[in-house]
Structure 1
Amino acid sequence: MIDPRDVLAHALSRPPTLGAGRLVCIDGLAGAGKTTLALGLAAITRTQVVHADELLEGWSGLPGLGATLDTVLRPLAAGASSEWTRWDWHASAWAESHPLSPGGLLVVEGVGSAPARIDDLVTTLVWVEAPRDERLRRGIARDGEQMRPQWEQWLDDEAALHARERTRDRADLVYATGASSSA
Structure 2
Amino acid sequence: MCIDGPAGSGKTTLARTVASLAEAPVVQMDDLYDGWDGLPRVTDQLDRLLLPLAEGVAGSYRRYDWGRQEYAETVTVAPAPLLVLEGVGAGSLAHAARCTVLAWVEAPDDLRLQRGLTRDGPEVEQQWRRWMRTEAEHFAEQRTRDRADVIVDGTAAAPPRSPGRVT
TM norm structure 2: 0.90
Q: C-alpha displacement at 1:80, in angstroms? A: 1.4
Q: Is the 8 A contact 1:83 1:97 kept in 2?
A: yes
Which residue of 87, 109, 115 maps to 2:86?
Answer: 109
1:132-143 matches, cutoff 5 A: 132-143=109-120
Whether 2:71 is the aligned partner of 1:94: answer: yes
Q: 2:51 aligns with which of 37, 56, 74?
A: 74
Letter in 2 for 1:132: D
Q: Which has the higher mean CA deviation after the structures are superposed, 74-83 or 153-162?
A: 74-83
| Residue number in structure 2 paired with 1:50 | 27
- Determine the structure 2 residue equivalent to 1:21: none
Q: TM-score, normalised by structure 1?
A: 0.82
Aligned length: 157
Partner SS state of residue 141, structure 1: helix
Shift, 1:103, TM fit: 3.5
* 2:20 counterpart letter in structure 1: A
- Percent identity at matched positions? 45
5+ residue gaps, structure 2: 161-167
* Structural RMSD (CA): 1.3
Match of 2:165 in 1: none
Give the superposition deviation at 1:26. 0.1
Residue 159 of structure 1 pairs with residue 128 of structure 2: no
Hey, which bits of structure 1, 4+ residues long, moved more than 3 A? none
SS, match of residue 83 in structure 2: strand
